[in-house]
């Protein structure tokens, strides 16, 4: 719970995206330390329609950043536009909650995080899954030695094909499965195996006509010699899970990355002569992520010790993306996207 006693954080939306409508707006309604103070869309008429529906103020992207009554912005633009608008927002003095991934290269992520640190602003990447209590439980069991010495981590996140005009099929907007979906298992590997990860190999299935990747696999090695195998794609049936396998037990979690807030998560633990399921309470990861951001943005200004791990994690994820692109064996396919 945020113990902030001052006025609510005045949050503006940059982009009236499906995820903003489906998850962020309901979350804003649940957190009393934040207030929606405007929506910005590319087209003013659309912004006006949405603002009227939500009882707030309509703007364009640039205009909302000029408003003195907006303290922070939530950016949910196509992946290739995050860096530009997060940078614009930070330069305008706004705290930023940016959808994942923060940037498409390590260099850009580093520049943004340094800008935030210099300006004393909070910059968080909205990997909302990290804020679900199911992973806190796994980390607690791991720290207690419940699984013995970790040996392998496997994680998958795949979704069915998207509508043909979806931004994920547009290379100029930062399309592709790696940036949109692959970043989840990558971030999960960082969470459980630590930040020091080496890319040992990767594959990408690339639609040659669209120049975007539709699926891929990644092999990582951690600083403690734990191996990770990750897979992702936007041409599969839905699946979202991980498994951490240690010397004495393994734990498996289904619906790992985007569980609905009402879901009761089930951790399955398997040992030589024993299997066990732990049912956990539901958790609203979007609300938790927003609450954490608001707490940081309304607390002692951009406390470096609190913010540094979030910034470092964003830079590390972008660094892994760079490495995967460099090392991946790319398999060209035709007309498999947009189906």
Ligand X SMILES: NC(=O)c1ccc[n+]([C@@H]2O[C@H](COP(=O)([O-])OP(=O)(O)OC[C@H]3O[C@@H](n4cnc5c(N)ncnc54)[C@H](OP(=O)(O)O)[C@@H]3O)[C@@H](O)[C@H]2O)c1
Q: How many angstroms separate the CA atoms of 212 and 176, rounded? A: 5
Q: Which long-range contacts (CB under 8 A, 24 or more apart) does 297-301 make?
A: 297/9, 297/71, 297/72, 297/95, 297/122, 298/2, 298/4, 298/6, 298/9, 298/33, 299/4, 301/120, 301/121
- Give, as ranges, the residues between 160 and 219 that touch ligand X (CB under 6 A): 167, 173, 180
Among 12, 15, 176, 265, binds ligand X (CB under 6 A): 15
- Give, as ranges, the residues between 261 and 290 that touch ligand X (CB under 6 A): none
> For residues 246 and 337, which CB has a smaller minimum distance to ligand X in the complex?
337
100 makes contact with ligand X (CB under 6 A): yes
Among 8, 19, 110, 115, binds ligand X (CB under 6 A): 19
- Give, as ranges, the residues between 34 and 73 that touch ligand X (CB under 6 A): 41-42, 46
Q: Could you say which of 48, 94, 100, 137 is catalytic?
A: 100
Q: How many angstroms separate the CA atoms of 6 and 3, rounded? A: 9
> For residues 15 and 38, which CB has a smaller minimum distance to ligand X in the complex?
15
Among 148, 219, 258, 261, binds ligand X (CB under 6 A): 258
Q: Cβ-count burial of 151 within 10 angstroms (0-12 exposed, 13-18 middle, 19+ buried)? A: middle
Residue 170 C-beta: closest distance to ligand X, Å = 7
104 makes contact with ligand X (CB under 6 A): no
Q: How many angstroms separate the CA atoms of 289 and 291, rounded? A: 5
Residue 245 C-beta: closest distance to ligand X, Å = 26
Judge contact between 190 and 220, C-beta under 8 A: no
Residue 128 C-beta: closest distance to ligand X, Å = 5
Phi and psi at 276, nearest 5°, equal -150, 145
> For residues 46 and 91, which CB has a smaller minimum distance to ligand X in the complex?
46
> For residues 123 and 249, which CB has a smaller minimum distance to ligand X in the complex?
123
Q: How many angstroms separate the CA atoms of 19 and 313, rounded? A: 22
Among 25, 72, 77, 158, binds ligand X (CB under 6 A): 77
> For residues 33 and 59, which CB has a smaller minimum distance to ligand X in the complex?
59
For residue 112, CA distances in Å to 102, 149, 339 come to 9, 36, 35
Token output for 167: 């931004």
Query: Could you confirm whether 326 is annotated as catalytic?
Result: no
Among 2, 33, 59, 128, binds ligand X (CB under 6 A): 128
Token output for 179: 């940036």
Rg for the chain, CA atoms, rounded = 20
**Geometric angle at alpha carbon 258, from 255 and 260, rounded to 5°:** 90
- Give, as ranges, the residues between 129 and 168 that touch ligand X (CB under 6 A): 167
> For residues 17 and 217, which CB has a smaller minimum distance to ligand X in the complex?
17
- The set of catalytic residues is 100
Site residues for ligand X per CB under 6 A:
15-19, 41-42, 46, 76-79, 81, 99-100, 126, 128, 167, 173, 180, 258
């Amino acid at each position: 719970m945020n113990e902030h006693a001052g006025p609510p954080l005045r949050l503006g939306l940059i982009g009236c995206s499906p995820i903003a409508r489906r998850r962020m707006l309901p979350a804003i309604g649940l957190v009393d330390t934040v207030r929606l103070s405007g929506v910005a869309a590319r087209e003013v008429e659309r912004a006006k329609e949405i603002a009227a529906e939500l009882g707030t103020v309509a703007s364009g992207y640039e205009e909302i950043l000029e408003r003195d009554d907006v303290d922070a912005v939530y950016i949910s633009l196509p992946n290739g536009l995050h860096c530009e608008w997060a940078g614009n927002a930070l330069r305008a003095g706004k705290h930023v909650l940016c959808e994942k991934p923060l940037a498409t290269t390590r260099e850009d992520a580093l520049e943004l995080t340094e800008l935030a640190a210099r300006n004393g602003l909070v910059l968080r990447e909205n990997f909302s899954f990290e804020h679900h209590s199911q992973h806190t439980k796994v980390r607690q069991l791991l720290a207690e030695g419940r699984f013995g010495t970790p040996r392998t981590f496997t994680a998958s996140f795949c979704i069915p094909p998207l509508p043909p005009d979806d931004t994920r099929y547009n290379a100029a907007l930062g399309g592709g499965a790696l940036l949109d979906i692959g970043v989840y298992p990558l971030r999960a590997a960082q969470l459980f195996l630590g930040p020091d990860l080496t890319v040992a190999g990767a594959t990408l299935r690339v639609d040659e006509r669209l120049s975007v990747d539709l699926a891929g696999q990644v092999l990582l090695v951690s600083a403690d010699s734990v191996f990770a195998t990750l897979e992702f794609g936007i041409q599969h049936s839905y699946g979202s899970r991980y498994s951490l396998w240690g010397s004495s037990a393994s734990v498996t979690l289904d619906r790992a990355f985007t569980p609905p807030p009402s879901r009761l998560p089930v951790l399955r633990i398997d040992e030589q002569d024993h299997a066990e399921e732990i049912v956990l309470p539901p958790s609203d990861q979007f609300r938790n992520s927003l609450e954490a951001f608001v707490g940081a943005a309304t607390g002692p200004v951009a406390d470096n010790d609190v913010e540094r791990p979030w910034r470092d994690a964003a830079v590390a994820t972008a660094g892994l993306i760079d490495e995967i692109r460099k090392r991946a064996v790319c398999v060209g396919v035709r007309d498999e996207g947009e189906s």
